[in-house]
Amino acid sequence: MLILGIEAAAKVAGTALYEDGRILAEQMVNGALTHSETLMPMVDAVFKAAGRRPEQLDYIALTSGPGSFTGLRIGAATAKGLALGLRIPIIPLSTLEVLAYGAGSEECHVPIMDARRGQVYSAVYAGEQVLMEPQAISIQELAEKLQAWGRTCMFMGDAADLYREQLSALLGDKYRIAPPHQKDLRAAAAAALAADKLARGLARGISGSELTIEYLRKPQAEREREERLLAEALPQAQRGTGV
């Protein structure tokens, strides 16, 4: 079974080819170029490096959110185009679950991704148990939940370094940050997790037309538009009541 992993939900963009328990090839970039510039060249590169052809693919594993709104759309468009052209299914995966899976064995995994506005996208996993479902939450609120559980947890994701000092102040010795090779999203982890879920009957492939993105909250442009409309409506309402 040949699976192409695609990751574009965070700052790191990547692709990987997985086949029967082996990572055949992987490409990743954590740099200044946009995902729209890097993703398709990396898809081509892993096929060439592995000596495989797109026509041999069985599935595409995609991190489908949460994450960067622009990055998620680029990843989804790439996966949809390939899936529809090759007539193969997509395995959509939670970005947070892929982060936790890629960090290896640990009693408690806490993926955190920068959601801006003082929040992170996060979930809490203990083995296969989900202690906290994916959500947008402040570091303070997240730390309070972890303190209540009394667990020592490993953090990973692009917000782990961003909130390192705050986590240390809030959790003391009850936290660890994953090492660099486990901290960032990896397309190889997405492909391996998809294979694992398929083998255990925990995932099914969907068509490109069925694919949806899990934003967890509205895109920034939509939120700003709603705030602008509310600000414009408020003075009108005040005038109407004579305030």
Given a contact cutoff of 8 angstroms between Cβ atoms, the answer to whether 64 and 205 are in contact is no
Q: Please tell me the predicted confidence (pLDDT) of residue 30.
A: 87
Judged against a pLDDT cut of 80, whether residue 233 lies above it is answered with no
Q: What is the mean pLDDT of residues 24-44?
A: 90
Q: How many CB atoms lie within 10 A of CB 67?
A: 28
Residue 72 to residue 9: CA distance in whole angstroms = 5
Distance set, CA 133 to CA 123, 129, 130, 189, 192 (Å): 5, 10, 6, 20, 22
Distance of CA 123 to the CA centre of its chain: 11
Q: Give 45's contacts (C-beta < 8 A, 6+ positions apart).
A: 15, 25, 27
Q: Which has more confidence, 232 or 167? A: 167
**3-class secondary structure, 135:** strand
Given a contact cutoff of 8 angstroms between Cβ atoms, the answer to whether 62 and 43 are in contact is no
Judged against a pLDDT cut of 80, whether residue 222 lies above it is answered with no
89-146 pLDDT, tens digit per residue, is 999 999 999 999 999 877 799 999 999 889 999 999 998 889 999 999 999 999 999 9
